[in-house]
């Protein structure tokens, strides 16, 4: 998920800086330099956010799966644990 967020935020940052440069009649070299730097920074931020989001989703799915397994064990074996 981190790579996807990095790609999305990086592309948005690049496009935004280029459009801003075009709107203000900025020099091509300085606009592209700023766009590349912004792409790198926002891609790094997007990667970090995407990884955290992935961990949160994975943790939620694991917790839900564990709850369902526990519910199945209780329904199958009563209130006692499997080892008893």
Evaluate whether residue 16 is within a structural domain.
Answer: yes
Using the predicted structure, report yes or no on whether residue 50 has a pLDDT greater than 90: yes
Using the predicted structure, report yes or no on whether residue 32 has a pLDDT greater than 90: yes
Evaluate whether residue 83 is within a structural domain.
Answer: no
Evaluate whether residue 61 is within a structural domain.
Answer: yes
Question: CB of 6 within 8 A of CB of 47?
Answer: yes
Evaluate whether residue 7 is within a structural domain.
Answer: yes
4-20 residue pLDDT tens: 999 999 999 999 999 99
Give the domain extent around 49.
2-77
Burial track 61-70 (b if 16+ CB lie within 10 A, e otherwise) = eeeeeeeeee
pLDDT of residue 80: 54
Return the structure tokens found at 71. 């519910």
Evaluate whether residue 20 is within a structural domain.
Answer: yes
Evaluate whether residue 25 is within a structural domain.
Answer: yes
Using the predicted structure, report yes or no on whether residue 81 has a pLDDT greater than 80: no
CA dihedral for 62, 68, 72, 74, sign (positive or negative): positive
Evaluate whether residue 84 is within a structural domain.
Answer: no
Domain count, the chain: 1
Evaluate whether residue 26 is within a structural domain.
Answer: yes
C-alpha torsion 58→64→69→70, nearest 10: 130
Average pLDDT of the segment spanning 42-62: 96
């Amino acid at each position: 998920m981190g790579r996807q967020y990095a790609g999305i935020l990086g592309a948005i940052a690049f496009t935004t800086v280029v459009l801003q440069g075009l709107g203000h009649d900025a020099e091509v070299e300085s606009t592209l330099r700023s766009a590349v730097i912004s792409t790198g920074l926002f891609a790094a931020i997007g990667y970090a956010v995407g990884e955290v989001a992935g961990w949160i989703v994975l943790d939620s799915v694991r917790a839900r799966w564990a709850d369902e397994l526990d519910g199945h064990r209780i329904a199958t074996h009563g209130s006692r644990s499997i080892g008893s």
